Amino acid sequence: MFDQAVAVADPMQSLAAHLPPRPEGRLVVIGAGKASARMAEAVEAAYGPCEGLVITRYGYGRPCKGIEIVEAAHPVPDAAGMQATARMLDLMAGLGEADMVLALISGGASSLLVQPAGAVTLTEKQAVNTALLASGAPIGKMNLLRKHLSRVKGGQLAAAAYPARMRVLMISDVPGDDPAMIGSGPTVGEASTPADARAIVAAYGIDLPASAQAVLAGQTGVIAPDDPRLSRVENVIYAAPVQSLEAAAEIAHENGIEVVSLGDALEGEARDVARAHAAEARAVQATLGAGASPVLLLSGGELTVTRRGDGVGGPNAEYALALALALDGAPGIHAIACDTDGVDGAAEVAGAVIHPETLTEAAKRGVDPQLALDGNDAHSFFAALDDQVVPGPTLTNVNDFRAILIAPL
């Protein structure tokens, strides 16, 4: 089911149907995100070689004939991303009304598109990003702050292309599929204010350098939704988590499994959501009589982790570990939690699987699950059990995939 959820979001399978006819004037392809190189590959499969530049995560590059693929760091930005973003802006400079920019945006663009606002340095930008990732703030709040500390997010990338026409193809990795939140909305107008950004800083105790405080004390560069420079921009979400969950549900139905959707836009602290799901799984199992069909609890969205320890983990692995602890070896319940981009947190691991023997096996191997959870060390825990899911670069990103399979006792 996880493999199918990833496959239906593969740009090579789904992007071409959303391309306009190749324009008569100059066409410039830009993009950023973990799926952007694969998206660029799909564009050239339809159009032939194109002029352009796309920034993707290290290891996620794809061969293109005309579009230049630059690899940079995620989830904390680096100099490669910053330099490539500057070159992208140069590439769009001087475009006219007859020209078109095709922008390819997917999850991960928030760290791959890097042009700090004001006097904020790259080192300071990296520190802010690291603090955000550890704060437990939901993705929407993280991205709102990122917009106000950037020269390209919050509609500013699209404004730089004006007066050229821009068509934006997006793969959603955010709960609710809000285009303004995908990659921090580089092509979408932003109505929030610096005061809103300052409120997030205060609420989550984020330590901002003086340069970033100075940016938020004034008028930031985000572009208002009604700004004329956005009048020629068309934003299209062509792939989203719900399509991937539906593809997984089809497989379950084909195998005689009843599917209960918990939603494609779940948010919250990973361990808290896991405990709630464990209680729900137990309640469902209690209703299943002998011979009843198994039930699958299916969900997507983007969970968060408030960093308490110095271990190696991510929201999906932490969810799986907390779920295993809450289920405490309950018979007949198995689960998987993975990020569809193949990367959970900063680790090259998508997530993990659990089963009724998970805690028993951990005890045999001398691994303490509660200690691992307390130290945010879920990846190390599942590595010791050989229960990690490691697909490598999936070249797409439609957020978390969680499935709990419940068999009757």
Domain with 173 in it: what CATH number?
Answer: 3.40.50.10180
pLDDT at 303 over 90: yes
pLDDT at 345 over 90: no
Number of domains within the chain: 2
Enclosing domain of residue 339 = 242-406
- Residue at which a domain ends, from 239, 258, 290: 239
Note whether 59 and 179 are same-domain residues: yes
Note whether 259 and 366 are same-domain residues: yes
- Residue at which a domain ends, from 224, 239, 254: 239
In this prediction, residue 367 carries a pLDDT of 98
In this prediction, residue 70 carries a pLDDT of 98
Q: Residue 382: left (phi > 0), alpha (psi -120 to 50), or beta?
A: alpha
In this prediction, residue 175 carries a pLDDT of 87
Note whether 11 and 122 are same-domain residues: yes
Note whether 228 and 91 are same-domain residues: yes
Confidence of residue 24 (pLDDT cuts 50, 70, 90): confident
Note whether 197 and 235 are same-domain residues: yes
Note whether 46 and 168 are same-domain residues: yes
Residues in the chain: 409
The residue ranges of DSSP E strands in 151-204, in sequence order, are 165-171
Note whether 99 and 210 are same-domain residues: yes
Q: In whole angstroms, what is the distance from residue 119 CA to residue 208 CA?
A: 13
Q: In whole angstroms, what is the distance from residue 70 CA to residue 81 CA?
A: 8
pLDDT at 46 over 90: yes
pTM to 2 decimals? 0.90
Residue-wise pLDDT tens digits, 236-280: 999 999 999 999 999 999 999 999 999 999 999 999 999 999 999
Of 39, 129, 2, nearest to 400 by C-alpha is: 2
Note whether 234 and 300 are same-domain residues: no
Q: What is the mean pLDDT of residues 62-87?
A: 97
In this prediction, residue 349 carries a pLDDT of 97
- Residue at which a domain ends, from 239, 267, 288: 239
